[in-house]
């Protein structure tokens, strides 16, 4: 029988913003496979016209609620480049720390709350949490029951080890076989209740995973957010990151506390890596050109040259030659390309271009999860994000240590407005972001351009979708299975759709 | 409250996004220390950004974003019909937010700048209350999760919620933050509603008024101070109009 498949997703869930998927396979042939962005446009470039340089960063942070720090950093860098401002070294370090906090917060949010539910076959992390809470409640009740049974047994001489008679009676005096028997019986109760309690055949993954998955994710996400709060003044829509440097120095005691907490989070990162190793990541390859910043002595996040895996290298201010935006009739987001019909940016692109500069601990996780450059499997962007999560945790520790030796006296330089053009390129969680402003001599914007990572990815997602449908059409999937696969493809890119249609 | 024999109500909530950055929704998933308790105290029926499960059987609709395209009008009207309580979440929903800055030009001009000769459908940005009735407005860019938690607690207990009547200045004094006017910067703290705990002045940035006016603000005195400190009418007006929260004031 020839394959007939139909996928039609209106407003895909667990992504930021609004996009649709359409796939139609008739007689085994892909007739249609589309990824279309239908987000309402906001016209930020039009709003930027006439804005003073002190306002641009505050306005453009509002392009994105998840990577507002990245937008603010790209914006103030563009303004500083236009006006020839060089910020103090301490301010550079503080900005990088805020950037790492955002990457941590955003990657953990995506990995656990947007991507992971697909691998658990659940609609959301909240459902995962509900199961965890139920199992936790049950295990607490069973522990009470166990204590009761132990007490009953202790009251009877025959269950106690003869050598311990006469002492105050404790659980450890019970015959080990009896303890095991009680534990097994209680685990049996938990197992038997699993289908009714949580709709799964076993409670094991919830009992074995200590610490629990959702709480672990929340601890990591909280760390990222608190770094941002401390250094940028607020996680979403930062206040301290301003043209000329950083307006407020963080409290050193709080910085030192964060460093200690970051050190303690290493165990959570290990458990996260082990968890992701159990996930069945789809085996799919489409040869792709990956674009990112080019690191020199550090894995790159703020400023520098641009590079592609096809060998293109450009300066930061030549970004237009790296993006080549054009319009597609079905999309409110623009599309981009470089050497091929489309290109990709994001964690996997950074990883593919800058692998040697990763922290050794991040490289270990890459090896553990079987990711090596250059990977052309877009689903591996999840793994690349996890590797970067490890990288930014260790880098944050290093940055805080050097910052603690600083006196924070010199974190802001005076700014004299002048006419000119400046570009700021920043690697935000979802890929490389460009802000480009032309200023008049009083420091007001004459024209502005912002190119967002997801704008650069949208065409690539679209062409991946076609290839995915072609490769998986003969594999006897149901409509639902193909829909899940296509949805997972889009989610792997962690698209920030309202950003892409700013 | 179970032990007192009082049945705890779980507010049945759905979250919807319109034209916005989705940062306010994100705040719902922040403040991780109390997030598990927060999620257990409510029932989420629909929340597209974090869940694939969805149902229309909600009582409370949280609305993020402003209305900037005709299809959004139909969507918000449908939600209004279903919801017992409709809440505007964040400055875009409450006032139109930064999106209102687009309204200073014609839509043709805006389209020309961004899309050149291939304009996309759009219309001037509207706050939610300009399209359908709003039962509760939680301002802020972004909303303050502490405040959202306080509101949810009131919902659960069935106690009416009251916003602070005093301005942000009070919170700066409580935190010991040096006045931004003293630092040579304009600040809307004297006229903006408190409740955010004044993070901007504490982080080295004057207040931009994202929460809208406090109760009975003394505009006259504020304009007087701004002018004494050397700020032009234009500078004051730009600040007031940044989030669309002080429409018609200047």
Query: pLDDT tens digits for B146-172?
Result: 999 999 888 888 888 999 999 999 999
The nearest alpha carbon in chain A to B92 belongs to A62
The strand pair at B60-64 and B85-89 is best described as parallel
> Between these two residues, B26 and A172, which has the higher pLDDT value?
B26
Report the pLDDT value the prediction gives residue A211, as an integer from 0 to 100.
Answer: 47
Quickly state the pLDDT bin for B220 (edges 50, 70, 90).
very high
Residue A498 to residue B23, Cβ atoms within 8 A:
no
CB A327 within 8 A of CB A334: yes
B 166-225: CB under 8 A from A: 199-200, 202-205, 208
Which residues in chain B have their CB less than 8 angstroms from residue A11's CB? 48
Contact A333, A37 (CB under 8 A): yes
DSSP label of B52: S
Q: How far off is chain A from B154, nearest CA to CA, in Å?
A: 23
More confident residue, A202 or A252: A252
Tell me if B204 and A43 make a contact (CB, 8 A cut-off): no
Q: Provide the angle, in degrees to the nearest 10, between the axes of the packed helices A381-404 and A89-108.
A: 150
Closest to B19 (Cα-Cα) out of A66, A48, A502: A502
Beta bridge partners of A24: A6, A32
Residue numbers in A near B102 (CB within 8 A): 42-43, 46-47
Q: Cβ–Cβ of B101/A236 closer than 8 Å?
A: no
B44–A126 CB contact, under 8 Å: yes
Asked if residue B230 lies in contact with residue B185, where contact means CB atoms within 8 angstroms, the answer is no
Q: Quick one: A432 exposed, middle or buried, by C-beta within 10 A (0-12, 13-18, 19+)? A: buried
Find which of B51, B146, B172 to mutate to test the A interface (most A CBs within 10 Å of its CB).
B51
Tokens of A155: 């009251």
> Which chain B residues contact residue A106 at CB under 8 A?
none
DSSP string across A388-439? HHHHHHHHHHHHHHHHHT------B-------EEEEEEEEETTEEEEEEEEE
Chain A residues within an 8 Å CB radius of B206 = none
Which residue is closest to A127 within chain B, CA to CA?
Answer: B51
The distance of B158 to chain A (nearest Cα, Å) reads: 25
Residue A314 pairs in a beta bridge with A306
The rounded distance, in Å, linking the Cα atoms of A198 and A134 is: 7
Question: With 0-12 CB in 10 A as exposed, 13-18 as middle and 19+ as buried, what is A319?
Answer: buried
Q: Which of B129, B126, B28, B142 is nearest to B88 (CA)?
A: B129
Cα dihedral sign, A386-A432-A99-A493: negative
Cβ distance A41 to B51 less than 8 Å, yes or no, reads no
Restricting to B residues 37-76, those with a Cβ less than 8 Å away from any Cβ of A are 39-40, 44, 47-54, 68-69, 72
**Which residues is A174 bridged to in the sheet?**
A160
Q: A199 is written with which tokens?
A: 């709709």
What local confidence, expressed as pLDDT, does residue B159 receive?
86
| Region for residue A188 given its phi and psi (left: phi exceeds 0; alpha: psi -120 to 50; beta: otherwise) | alpha
In chain A, what residues touch B242 (CB-CB under 8 Å)? Answer: 55, 58-59
Chain B from 128 to 147: CB within 8 A of any A CB = 141-142
Residue ranges per structural domain of chain A: 43-122+215-463, 127-210
Maximum Cα–Cα distance across chain B: 66
The CA-to-CA distance between both ends of chain B, in Å, stands at 49
Chains A, B: CB pairs < 8 Å: 160
CB B162 within 8 A of CB B132: no
Cα separation of A50 and B66, whole Å?
23
Beta bridge partners of B64: B17, B89
Nearest Cα neighbor of A370 from A360, A379, A380, A378 is: A380
Nearest chain B alpha carbon to A447:
B113
pLDDT digits over A13-23, tens only? 999 888 999 99
Max mean pLDDT among A196-200, A496-500, B201-205 falls in B201-205
The encoded tokens of residue B36 equal 């598990």
**Residue scoring higher pLDDT (A38 or A348):** A348
Which of A100, A53, A99 lies closest to A78 in space, CA to CA?
A53
Structure tokens at A342: 């489309």
Tell me the chain A residues in contact with residue B68 when contact means C-beta distances shorter than 8 Å: 40-42
Which pair of tokens denotes residue B147? 């405040």
For residue A33, say if its preceding peptide bond is cis, omega within 30 degrees of 0.
no
Nearest by CB: B114 against A45, A62, A239: A45
Q: How many CB atoms lie within 10 A of CB B153?
A: 13
| Cis peptide, bond prior to residue A374, ω within 30 of zero | yes
Contact at CB, A233 and B110, closer than 8 angstroms: no
Q: What are the chain B neighbours of A332 within 8 Å (beta carbons)?
A: 120
Percent of chain A with pLDDT over 70: 98
Are A64 and B238 an interchain contact pair (Cβ–Cβ within 8 Å)?
no
Per the listing, tokens 């999620």 go with: B39
CA distance to partner chain B, nearest, from residue A69 (Å): 12
**Residue that wins the pLDDT comparison between B181 and A177:** B181
Q: What is the pLDDT of residues A207-235, one digit of tens each?
A: 655 447 888 899 999 999 999 999 999 99
Chain-chain contact of B30 with A66 (C-beta, under 8 angstroms): no
pLDDT in tens, A57-114: 999 999 999 999 999 999 999 999 999 999 999 999 999 999 999 999 999 999 999 9
Q: Which pLDDT belongs to residue A487?
A: 96
Residue B132, SS3? Answer: coil
B103 touches chain A (CB under 8 A): no
The pLDDT assigned to A206 comes to 67
Measure B119 CA to nearest chain A CA, in Å.
Answer: 10
Distance, in angstroms, between B221 CA and closest chain A CA? 25
Res A54 pLDDT > 60: yes
* Class of the CATH-defined domain B2-157: alpha beta
Query: Exposure of A105 by Cβ count < 10 A (0-12 exposed, 13-18 middle, 19+ buried)?
Result: buried
* Residues whose CB falls within 8 Å of the CB of residue A144, separated by 6 or more in sequence, listed in order: none
| Highest CATH level, class, for A43-122+215-463 | mainly alpha
Check if the beta carbon of residue A232 is closer than 8 Å to that of residue A241.
yes
Of all residues in chain A, the one with the smallest CA distance to B51 is: A124
The answer to whether the CB atoms of B110 and A43 lie below 8 A apart is: yes
Contact A247 B203 (CB under 8 A): yes
Whole-number Å distance between alpha carbons of A372 and A356:
11
Q: How far is A362 from chain B (nearest CA, A)?
A: 25
- Per CB-CB distance under 8 Å, the chain A contacts of B188 are none
User: Which of chain A's residues have a Cβ under 8 Å away from the Cβ of B50?
Assistant: 14, 113-114, 124-126
- Tokens 């295990």 map to which residue? A139
Min Cα distance A248 → chain B (Å) is 6
Containing H/E element for A364? helix A360-368
pLDDT, position A171:
78
Q: Which of B204, B231, B235, B245 to mutate to test the interface with A (most CBs of A within 10 A)?
A: B204
B241 touches chain A (CB under 8 A): no
**Is B3 a residue whose pLDDT tops 70?**
no
Does B20 contact A at CB distance below 8 Å? yes
Query: What distance in Å separates the CA atoms of residue B177 and residue B193, rounded to the nearest whole number?
Result: 17
Q: Under DSSP, is residue A339 helix (H, G, I), strand (E, B) or coil? A: coil
Considering A211-215, A333-337, A446-450, B28-32, the range whose residues carry the highest mean pLDDT is: A446-450
**Distance (Å) of CA A415 to CA A93, A425, A442:** 19, 20, 11
Alpha-carbon span B114 to B122, nearest angstrom? 12
On average, the pLDDT of chain A sits at 92
What ranges do the domains of chain B cover? 2-157, 168-240
Average pLDDT over residues B73-86: 96
């Amino acid at each position: 029988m020839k394959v007939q498949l139909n996928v039609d997703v209106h407003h895909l869930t667990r992504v930021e913003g609004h996009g649709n998927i359409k796939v139609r396979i008739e007689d085994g042939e892909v007739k249609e496979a589309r990824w279309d962005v239908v987000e309402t446009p906001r016209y930020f470039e039009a709003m930027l016209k006439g804005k003073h340089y002190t306002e641009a960063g505050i306005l453009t942070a509002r392009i994105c609620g998840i990577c507002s720090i990245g937008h603010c950093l790209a914006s103030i860098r563009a303004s500083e480049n236009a006006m020839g401002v060089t910020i103090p070294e301490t301010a550079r370090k503080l900005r990088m720390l805020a950037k790492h906090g955002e990457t941590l917060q955003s990657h953990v949010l995506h990995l656990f709350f947007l991507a992971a539910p697909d691998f658990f076959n659940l609609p959301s992390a909240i459902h995962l949490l509900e199961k965890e809470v139920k199992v936790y409640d049950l295990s607490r009740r069973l522990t009470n029951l166990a204590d009761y049974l132990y007490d009953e047994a202790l009251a009877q001489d025959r269950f106690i080890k003869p050598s311990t008679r006469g002492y105050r009676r404790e659980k450890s005096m019970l015959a080990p076989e009896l303890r095991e028997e009680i534990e097994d019986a209680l685990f049996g109760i938990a197992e038997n209740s699993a289908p009714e309690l949580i709709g799964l055949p076993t409670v094991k993954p919830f009992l074995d995973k200590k610490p629990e998955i959702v709480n672990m994710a929340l601890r990591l996400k909280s760390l990222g957010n608190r770094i941002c709060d401390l250094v940028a003044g607020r996680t979403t829509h930062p206040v301290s990151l301003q043209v000329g440097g950083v307006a407020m120095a963080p409290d050193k005691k709080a910085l030192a506390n964060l460093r200690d907490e970051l050190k303690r989070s290493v165990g959570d990162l290990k458990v996260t890596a082990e968890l992701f190793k159990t996930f069945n990541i789809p085996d799919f390859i489409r040869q792709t050109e990956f674009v990112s910043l080019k690191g020199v002595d550090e894995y790159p996040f703020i400023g520098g040259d641009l590079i592609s895996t096809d060998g293109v290298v450009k300066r930061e201010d030549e970004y237009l030659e790296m993006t080549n935006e054009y319009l597609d009739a079905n999309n409110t987001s623009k599309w981009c390309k470089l050497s091929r019909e489309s290109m990709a940016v994001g964690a996997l692109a950074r990883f593919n271009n800058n692998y040697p500069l990763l922290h050794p601990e991040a490289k270990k996780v890459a090896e553990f999860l079987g990711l090596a450059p250059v990977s052309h499997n877009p689903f591996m962007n999840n793994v690349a994000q996890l590797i970067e999560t490890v990288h930014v945790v260790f880098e944050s520790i290093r940055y805080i240590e050097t910052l603690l030796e600083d006196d924070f006296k010199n974190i802001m330089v005076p700014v004299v407005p002048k006419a000119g053009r400046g570009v700021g390129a920043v690697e935000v969680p979802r890929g490389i972001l460009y802000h480009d402003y032309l200023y008049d001599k009083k420091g007001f914007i004459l024209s502005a351009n912002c190119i967002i990572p997801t704008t650069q990815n949208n065409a690539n997602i679209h062409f991946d979708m076609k290839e995915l449908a072609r490769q998986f059409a003969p594999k006897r999937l149901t409509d639902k299975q193909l829909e899940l696969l296509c949805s997972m493809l889009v989610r792997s890119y962690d698209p920030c759709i309202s950003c892409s249609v700013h | 409250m179970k032990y007192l024999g009082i049945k705890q109500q779980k507010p049945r909530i759905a979250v919807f996004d319109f034209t916005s950055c989705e940062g306010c929704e994100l705040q719902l998933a922040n403040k991780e220390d109390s997030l598990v308790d927060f999620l257990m105290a409510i029932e989420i029926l629909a929340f597209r950004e974090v869940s694939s499960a969805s149902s229309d059987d909600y009582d409370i609709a949280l609305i993020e974003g402003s209305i900037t395209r005709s299809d959004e009008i139909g969507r918000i009207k449908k939600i209004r019909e279903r919801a017992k309580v409709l809440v505007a979440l964040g400055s875009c929903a409450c006032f139109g937010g930064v999106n209102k800055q687009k309204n200073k030009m014609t839509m043709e001009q805006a389209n020309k700048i961004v899309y050149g000769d291939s304009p996309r459908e759009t219309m001037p940005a509207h706050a939610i209350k300009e399209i359908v009735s709003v039962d509760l407005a939680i301002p802020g860019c972004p909303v303050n999760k502490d405040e959202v938690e306080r509101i949810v607690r009131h919902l659960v207990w069935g106690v009416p919620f009251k916003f602070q009547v005093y301005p942000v200045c009070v919170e700066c004094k409580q935190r010991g933050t040096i006045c931004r006017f003293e630092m040579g910067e304009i600040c809307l703290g004297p006229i903006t509603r408190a409740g955010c705990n004044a993070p901007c002045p504490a982080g080295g940035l004057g207040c931009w008024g994202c929460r809208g006016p406090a109760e009975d603000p003394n505009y006259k005195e504020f304009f007087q101070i701004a002018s004494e400190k050397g700020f032009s009418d234009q500078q004051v007006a730009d600040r007031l109009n940044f989030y669309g929260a002080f429409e018609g004031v200047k």
